[in-house]
Amino acid sequence: MNDLKTQLLPASQDAVDQAGELLRQGEVVAIPTETVYGLAASSLNGEAVKKIFSAKGRPQDNPLISHIADLSMLEMVVRDVPQAAYRLAEAFWPGPLTMILPRSEQVADEVCAGLETASVRMPSHPVAQAVIRAAGVPLAAPSANLSGSPSPTTAQDVFADMNGKIPLILDGGACEVGVESTVVSLAGPKPVLLRPGYITKEQLEQVLECEVLLADAVLHPLKQGEKAASPGMKYKHYAPKAEVTILKGPFSAYVSYVEKHCEPGTFCLCFAGEENSLPCPCVLYGHEKAPAEQAQRLFSALRELDARGAERVYARCPEEGGIALAVYNRLLRAAAFRVIEL
């Protein structure tokens, strides 16, 4: 599937209409959302969804999130929707929150990858909403990267991974949030946070008025033979070509460590303003006390490291609560869980 001419178009009304037409014909189109760019196809069309898996090189057992434009589409994807889900929808939709619930009959089996549940979110990005409306169906859309590489936060990132594989990419500018949506499962006895994001565990608990459990895989590698609550968690993810190591500790200790270990090909992935104190080339990912900015910059920083030929990367460690938990979770995977306590 490497012979398509891929169009990259600004997201005008004409381009949105063209996207809707392609999606109704069972094609795959890349679209901007407020989190990251998505690779979209109709959630109700199994053959179309298969094209997403092949364009990404995604393992068949990793389910996809369906994107809806309004609540009238909810039951096309999921059923037995509890009050708790409506409370979360009221508080955070449209926005970067995905809920997991029992799947509907209508949604294609390929979307659920063999599970009895499906995941659904209502994106706030106006282009994503317009495309869903133009297609007239929920859109299954994983992040629009090749499986394993950092998620794309610009249309150019998508083009780098998807050129020749899909007919159309809509350019809606850089994504505001920059990391993928928060994923919470409401399919079990207690809510479980499977993937941290911009909507925090604390915010979910406030609305639900109960504890939200943190899936073990958020901060720890799966043990041998362990079953992932969220299949996506078991794969190597977000990884640049370089070997990334997270250095946990105060900045002074980070500087000393890097000074001892700086060789040609070594880069620092650090916070804005720190670059003048470091002996290696630096790629910045936001200010130390600004987790939303770190989230927005992280994936483009990982892509920049590849573009600049980094071989070894020493990363400054984000915090572990609030939005920073999302940043830490992605960085841990980019580092294949290599963390050195200073």
Residue 209 CB contacts under 8 Å (≥ 6 apart), including other chains: none
Give the shortest CB-314-to-ligand TXA separation in angstroms.
27
**Smallest distance from ligand TXA to CB 139, Å:** 9
User: Please, which residue, 108 or 284, has the CB nearer to ligand TXA?
Assistant: 108
Nearer to Mg ion, 64 or 269 (CB): 64
How far is the CA of 330 from the CAs of 33, 150, 314, 321, 337, in angstroms?
18, 9, 15, 13, 10
First to last CA, the chain: 47
Q: Quick one: what does residue 230 bind among ligand TXA, Mg ion, none, with the CB cut-off 5 to 8 Å set by partner type?
A: ligand TXA
The least distance separating ligand TXA from the CB of residue 248, rounded to whole angstroms, comes to 25
CB-wise, 64 or 315, nearer to ligand TXA? 64
Site stretch for Mg ion (CB under 5 A), options 39-47, 84-92, 140-148, 241-249: 140-148
What is the torsion angle, in degrees rounded to the nearest 10, for the CA atoms of residue 155, residue 92, residue 325 and residue 112? -70
**Residue 22 binding result from Mg ion, ligand TXA, none, given CB thresholds of 5 to 8 Å by partner type:** none
Q: Which of ligand TXA, Mg ion, none lies near 46, with the C-beta cut-off 5 to 8 A by kind? A: none
Contact 329, 195 (CB under 8 A): yes
Nearer to ligand TXA, 96 or 286 (CB): 96
Would you count residue 296 as binding Mg ion (CB under 5 A)? no
With CB under 5 to 8 Å by kind, the binding choice for 141 among ligand TXA, Mg ion, none is ligand TXA
Q: How far is the CB of 151 from ligand TXA (least distance, A)?
A: 7
Instruction: Catalog residues that contact ligand TXA under the rule CB under 6 A.
Output: 33, 35-36, 38, 62-65, 96, 98, 100, 112, 115, 117-119, 141-143, 180-181, 183, 194-195, 230-232
Question: Nearest to ligand TXA by Cβ — which residue?
Answer: 232
300 touches which of Mg ion, ligand TXA, none (CB within 5 to 8 A by kind)? Answer: none
Tell me if 143 contacts Mg ion by CB under 5 A.
Answer: yes
Query: What is the size of the binding site for Mg ion (CB under 5 A)?
Result: 1
Nearest to 67 by CA among 40, 88, 89, 34: 40
Task: Give 103 or 316: the residue with its C-beta nearer to ligand TXA.
Answer: 103
Candidate ranges 10-18, 143-151, 238-246, 326-334; the one touching Mg ion (CB under 5 A): 143-151
In the complex with ligand TXA, which residue's Cβ is closer, 65 or 269? 65
Distances (CA, A) of 215 to 197, 206, 229: 13, 18, 7
Binding site for Mg ion (CB under 5 A): 143
